[in-house]
Amino acid sequence: MLYLIGLGLGDATDITVKGLQAVKSCSRVYLEAYTSILTVGKEALEEYYGKQLILADRDLVEQGADEILKDADVTDVAFLVVGDPFGATTHSDLVLRAVHAGIPYRVIHNASIMNAVGCCGLQSYCASLLSSVFLLNVMNIPGFNRDHVVLITDFRGKKIYEPPRFMTVSQAADQLIQIVQRRRREEEEGELGVTEDTVCVGLARLGADDQIIRTGTLRQLVSCDLGGPLHSLVVTARLHPLEVDMLRVNAEPDALQHLRVIDSSTFTS
């Protein structure tokens, strides 16, 4: 059996009971190590799971999948993914390879940024979800002006030449402002609906004990230091009054003066 197991968002203890039982039954356990990170290191996971973990970088997963699947038809192999196995990055290719090789598979889900983002007070079913590539062409996505947009800020690093780099909320806000200003110079502002005063929500290390949620305008979030990775940024659209009340809990001074609020009497859940 090939197990694809979500680890959740925080630390070693966020794995589900079902997931932990599966890990303990496996002869080999791979830790996917290129789409996200936990707040603890590999050693802490090994200690809690009672298993040695094999780091699986992008090259191994995308080009050496046969190594992961080796003997999985006669023994149990686990593939661990931070968040949910099919959250920020789908691992469909690995599943298809297993199916084509006649290897049964099982997915054990867990929390991911896709659902945890609701803790900031925005109603997630009113959001468009986007995993950004350092925010290239981000404002061209469908529904940017209509729905809240969750930007899952990227981290990158070449295997040999440099360590991973993590985009911060501050950097993401700065890049968005640069896009706004460039399009304003090109007289495209009418298409954006986004300005330096658009209310956004910065999130850092969701699920960890030291998670941070900060509401502010794009201009304010540029100078906002939310600490270590991982960060996400939500660009709000029209807001329900209940969402406004929730945003006030973590708001910067004067951040909520430029809100677009819908009429609650016309709101349908």
Numbered residues of the known binding site for S-adenosyl-L-methionine:
9, 84, 87, 112-113, 206, 231
Helix ranges restricted to H, the chain: 17-25, 42-49, 58-63, 65-69, 92-100, 113-116, 169-185, 189-192, 218-222, 241-248
C-beta separation of 12 from 115 below 8 A:
no
* Amino acid, single-letter form, for residue 148: H
d(CA 33, CA 203): 21
d(CA 10, CA 88): 16
d(CA 252, CA 267): 27
Q: Of the candidates 174, 170, 132, which has an alpha carbon nearest to the alpha carbon of residue 149?
A: 132
d(CA 71, CA 173): 47
d(CA 156, CA 166): 7
54 - beta bridge partners? Answer: 30
Residue numbering of the annotated binding site: 9, 84, 87, 112-113, 206, 231
d(CA 64, CA 61): 6
